[in-house]
Structure formats: C-alpha cells, structure tokens
Structure 1
Amino acid sequence: MNTMRALLLHDTLPAAHRAIGLMLVLFGQPLSRIVQLRTDQLRDVPEGLQVSFGSDWLNVPETAAAVIHVHLTARPGLNTAANPSSQLLFPGFMPGRPMHVHAVANILRAIGIRPLAARSRAWLQKVREAPPSVLANALGISATTAMRYAE
C-alpha cells in the first residue's frame, strides 16, 4: 500500500497523525514545521481547503482535506484548563506546546512511513512540477534548499 493511501485509509490511526502524515507526503514539510502549524494557516475557500507554509496558499487535495477537517472537529490536547483556546493546529498535551515531533515520527514509522524518505519523495515530485524558486516561496524554505532538491 502506498504512503498516501495508507494515511487516507488507516482506520485506527488518530486523525491528527493522519493529517500530519498527509502534509508530510503532500508538501514535503519537515515534521517539526508541520506540528507548529497554527489554525490561521488553514482556510476554507470555495475551491476547498488551503494551507500556507510560506507566502502562498496551497490547495489541499479533497481526500486529504477530509481527514484534516475530521481532525479539526476534535483536536486533541484542548481539554486542559490552560489550553482550551490553543491556536496550534496540532496542540500537544502540555499547554502552549505542539505535539511532540518524535512521538509523531515514531507513530508514522510504526505504520511503515519513514518521515525523511516520505519528505524526500514529496520534494522530488514537487521539483518536477515547478521551478525551485517558486517552490521556495510557496513552501517557505530557502532557495538553496529548493535548488539542492532540484539537483
């Protein structure tokens, strides 16, 4: 089963971990950056769900958007007195802190997704679709990093 399919169809993995994994494989972002996302970096527009990692809004495919919407309806970690209004998209259980990146990585590895390999595959696909300078701006990374993936 491919990575995207595994994340879309995994019925025992919490929606938060599935959403993080989908952002990893779709946008090639490091887990450390994904867990830091805020709710204002997502928006619903007539075309569907969009996410912003840098200067642009990127469309989230409909199937992945459905998983993210499920996560948004019941974000974990908001049931503590100090954390009910967290703006973190993936709040952890410590107030003001996101989910722990190592815990998320371990959960993804347990279902057969290697985060670094998945991120690299996503980038290799992205540089086939757009120039590195456009990717750098859209995904909020340095031009040097984007060029390195392109090479």
Structure 2
Amino acid sequence: MPVRTNNIVGVTGEYYVSAELGKRGILALITPKNNPLFDIVAVSADATQIVSIQVKTMSERNQQGWKLGKDICTLKNNPNLFVVLVNLTGSEVEYYIYDYDTLSSRVQDVYSRYLAKPKRDGTRRKDVDFRWYDFTEFSEDDYQRKNNWSLLGF
C-alpha cells in the first residue's frame, strides 16, 4: 500500500466523516484548509441545526494514537463544537465522536498524569506543544462513543 502523507491522511478523515454524515441525511461542508478550529460544518436537512466538527485522523503509520495540538486542552464552552477522532488503522474505519469540551477535559487529564510521572532517569517531563490520545487511555465512555453519531444531536 502506498504511504499517505499527513496532509492526505487528514483530508481522507474529513471525507470519511462527511460521507458518514451524508449517509444520515446531514449536509456536510468541508471548510478551506488551515481553518484552526473546525474542518466540517454539518447542517440538518431542514437547516434547523448546525454544528462544527474538527476531524483528527490516525492512520496505519501512526500507532501512537491521535496527535493533537496543545490548544485541544483549552475549553471552548461551545455546545455546537465537536471533534471526531477517525481511526484508519483497521479494516473498518472507526469514528469516536466527542463534544469539544469533553475531549478537551479528557486529554488534559491524560496529559496531566503523563507530566506527573517522572522520566526513566527520574527527571521531570517537559511540557510540549502537542498531546497524544490513544486507546491505552480510553475509558468505557470513550469506547461508547465509537460510531455513535447521535452524539452530534441530529
């Protein structure tokens, strides 16, 4: 299989999410690249509900999980903002759907625990500009989000 670049992986995830929304009768509009907060605007068929979705995609090249910017840990207090974590590592695409602030709090908790553990040599870990989120940190709540598109409220 050809190697996909990070950009191709990200765009692939956005199109997969858009297709899943379309299958459910939801209009999905992919935003221009480099929009910092969301990648997709999703609109109900009757235009009464609109949500914004940030898509993060993990491919077979990335076994560490989803790499997120440190800004994911900043709460947005926006009930119409969501994140979909896309897993392309298996034979079936998986989607984990979160409201932004729930994932934000979850990632911050995982990262705080990571920083609290000293490195192998006993020294403190340094703060970095990214956060990893992977299956080793998943709770039962995370697994219940798998392919649970109803969490978007449509």
TM-score normalised over the length of structure 2: 0.27
Query: What is the TM-score with the length of structure 1 in the denominator?
Result: 0.28
The structure whose Rg is larger is 2
Write 1 or 2 for the structure with the bigger share of helix.
1
Using CA pairs under 8 Å that are at least 6 residues apart, name the structure with larger relative contact order, 1 or 2.
1
Q: Whose strand proportion is higher, 1 or 2?
A: 2
